[in-house]
Amino acid sequence: LGAYLYISDKPKSHFLSGAIFGFTCFIRYTNLFYFLPFLLVSFLTNRKKFFRLIIGFAPFALLVLSFNYFMYGGFFETGYVNIVGRARIFSEIAVTILTYILFLSIMYPLMIFSPFFYKGKLKYEILCLTLFLIPAFSYLNATIFHYGFITNLIIGPRYLFPFIPFLVITYSYLIERILSRFRLNYKIFILAVTILLMVSVIPISLAQKSYTQHST
């Protein structure tokens, strides 16, 4: 919804976009990462939109920071850790980045590379998201892939799941180009993928069930 309002030509929609992105930070602090690339691109291309986004986002940012201060004793303290005071080993981060790319490439073939071929709306924003989110989450949790291979494949990239809808936009564009290039039937392809997805629900649900039972 934040992205949809962001691409609107109406100025008031930009305020609302910033507010939506701000509200999502109540759900998970790291949702801020999804907002930063939109800020960067708007700063470089449309300063008025940039300031509208900031104004819409600011009240929610102040509420989150105030909550942290009164509950945990510091603006950047949380119930888990200080979000600006984390030290990581470069090799750990690099391995996690490569693992993210590998597992996402297996689960969604070529999807992680689709932003580099996309030429539609939000192309710069989604490209920035791609280049920023994987290193950012790899830095925050460099040991997220500590399960077995199948569980890592399904559960490991969970912090990037909110990013998948953005990639679907670029992925559909790439798939259409591939199908047209090799003259494949689009309807048959969609039918085959739909059946595959329906069948894959079973092992994915079993893996999710096993993970949640183990976690509790």
- Above 80 in pLDDT, residue 65? yes
Q: Residue 14 has which token pair?
A: 């930009």
Q: Can you tell me the mean pLDDT for 203-210? A: 80
The arithmetic mean of pLDDT across residues 81-97, rounded, is 72
pLDDT reading at 78 higher than 80: no
Query: Is-contact 123 161, C-beta < 8 A?
Result: no
Average pLDDT estimate for 19-39: 92
Q: What is the mean pLDDT of residues 12-27?
A: 95
79, pLDDT greater than 80? no
136-184: per-residue pLDDT in tens? 988 888 788 888 888 888 888 888 888 999 999 999 889 888 888 888 8
CB 115 within 8 A of CB 130: yes
Confidence of residue 37 (pLDDT cuts 50, 70, 90): very high
pLDDT of residue 139: 87
- What pLDDT is attached to residue 202? 85
pLDDT beyond 60 at 106:
yes
Q: Which DSSP string do the residues of the chain spell out, in sequence order?
A: -HHHHHT-S-HHHHHHHHHHHHHHHHH-GGGHHHHHHHHHHHHHH-HHHHHHHHHHHHHHHHHHHHHHHHHHSSTT--SS--TT-----HHHHHHHHHHHHHHHHHHSTTGGGGGGT--STTHHHHHHHHHHHHHHHHHH-TT---S-HHHHHHHGGGGGGGGHHHHHHHHHHHHHHHHHHHT--HHHHHHHHHHHHHHHHHHHHHHHHHHHHHH-
| Banded pLDDT at 102 (limits 50, 70, 90) | very high
Nearest to 34, CA basis, from 193, 164, 172: 164
- CB-based contacts of 111: which residues, under 8 Å, 6+ apart? 104, 105, 164, 167, 168, 170, 171, 174
Nearest to 172 by CA among 110, 105, 130: 110
Give the number of C-alpha atoms closer than 13 A to the C-alpha of residue 191, restricted to the C-beta side. 5
| DSSP single-letter state for residue 75 | T
Q: How many of the other CB atoms lie within 10 Å of CB of 166?
A: 19
The label of the residue with tokens 């912090």 reads: 159
Tell me how many degrees the CA angle 166-81-142 measures, rounded to the nearest 5: 55
- Can you tell me the mean pLDDT for 94-120? 90
| Confidence at 83, pLDDT banded by 50, 70, 90 | low
* pLDDT mean across residues, the chain: 87
Structure confidence at residue 84 as a pLDDT band (50, 70, 90): low
Which two structure tokens, joined as six digits, stand for 87?
A: 């030290």
